């Protein structure tokens, strides 16, 4: 889990660098989401293919679960 957190922190640091360069948070967020989608597709299908609708559904489910977990952790920090 420690390595996972360190990798996440590196992406956040890069996003903050982009923000400090004057890029909008919305543009940075969209670019990170796009890059993540491209990498998720590569991880599942390689360079030669894309995801079928069922594969897209699986990736969406993983993203949803991850986002829900992030929200739970944020709520715990506030309490």
Q: What pLDDT sits at residue 1?
A: 87
**pLDDT digits over 19-36, tens only?**
999 999 999 999 999 999
| Residue 17 near residue 10, CB atoms below 8 Å | no
Termini Cα distance of the chain: 23
- Residue 42: pLDDT over 90: yes
| Residue 15 near residue 28, CB atoms below 8 Å | yes
**pLDDT digits over 69-78, tens only?**
999 999 999 9
CB hemisphere CA count around 61 (13 angstroms) = 6
- What span, in angstroms and rounded, lies between the C-alpha atoms of 47 and 13? 27
């Amino acid at each position: 889990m420690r390595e996972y957190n360190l990798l996440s922190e590196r992406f956040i640091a890069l996003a903050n660098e982009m923000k400090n360069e004057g890029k909008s948070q919305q543009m940075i967020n969209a670019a990170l989401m796009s890059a993540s989608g491209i990498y998720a597709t590569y991880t599942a299908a390689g360079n030669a293919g894309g995801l079928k609708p069922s594969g897209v559904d699986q990736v969406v489910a993983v993203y949803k679960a991850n986002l829900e977990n992030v929200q739970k952790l944020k709520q715990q920090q506030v309490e």
